[in-house]
Amino acid sequence: MRDFEYAISEARENDLKDIEEFFKGQDSMLRDTKLLHWKYLDNPAGKAHIFLIRDEESKIIGALSFLPRVCVRRNAGRVVIMQAVDALIAPEARGQSLYDKLVRYSTGRIGMPIYGFPNKIAERVEVRNGWKILVLIDSWYFPINMGLLLSNSKVKVVSPLLNLIFKIYACLWLSGKQNNIELRKINEFKDDFCVKGNHFYIERTSQFLNWRFINNPIRIYFCYEFHNRGGSIGYCVYAVEETTAVIYDFVSNEDQRVCWRKIVEHLRVQKITHVVFKCVGINLGKFGFIKRKLGASIISYNMPSGRWFFTLCDSDWD
């Protein structure tokens, strides 16, 4: 493996074509121009800051990007922070601590609090360069139509019974007065939402939610709003992976138990076997969710100390 002469700099908008070619060469999801523009330029909180490593021939051999996010807390105002995303070093340039150098260079120039959802390799490098693990991510599981997993097996005869058992399970955990709450499909977010409690969280404006979910060119999301007495009290966003509903965001400041019941009843009709919700700052055990160890973390640099609320909405995992 040869040593590289390299230069690190922040990208300009006219570098986007080179960045696209770099991602294309690494078989990254961002190899498509439409996806690149959506993620890096269309974000309502602002354009991305992209840091590049180039070799002696000016070819990009590494990249690390930062997406602006607006952080809020009750009675504490708003502040722009950065989410670290898309860390990538070309295979031929690995093993020379280039990612360490990229992290140090970009951290020193961002000048804002930073958070990220790293893989374990990136986490080790970032911790080595002064970042800290902010929180561990919880993974919650709720069974719905588990009997469907047996429908093609030798014991498929017990499938209806198993579904009935978990229907009773949901009724026991998610009982409560309906309070005229309705579940309505969202084609476009029109309201802004606040997160209950005294957590720091990423602002949920209609503009942000439409960019993150409705206009997302990568994945299809199903968005539903909770209505009570004619007004919106929250929403839920999920994606379907085979027979699993992966919750990407759930915000409800009233009747959370009933809101979860509405979602579970809806997903039962959709033949979903179970729900998975990866998040921080929410105790779902009181609603019958089962907690599983995930082993993933959220890492930070100069982030405000206190309680945090995170869901997959705040990640760049699609």
Give per-residue pLDDT as tens, 265-284.
Answer: 999 999 999 999 999 999 99
Does residue 195 have a pLDDT over 60?
A: yes
Alpha-carbon dihedral 191, 197, 201, 207, rounded to 10 degrees: 0
Domains of the chain, earliest start first: 6-135 (3.40.630.30), 138-294 (3.40.630)
First to last CA, the chain: 33
- The predicted-structure confidence for 96-136, as pLDDT tens digits, reads as follows 899 999 999 999 999 999 999 999 999 999 999 999 999 99
Please state at what angle helix 159-173 crosses helix 256-269, rounded to 10 degrees.
160
6 — pLDDT class (breaks 50, 70, 90): confident
318 — pLDDT class (breaks 50, 70, 90): low
Q: What is the pLDDT of residue 295?
A: 81
Tell me how far apart the alpha carbons of residues 151 and 143 are, in angstroms, rounded to a whole number. 16
Is the model more confident about 197 or about 66?
66
* Beta pairing class for 297-301 and 114-116: antiparallel
CB 234 within 8 A of CB 226: yes
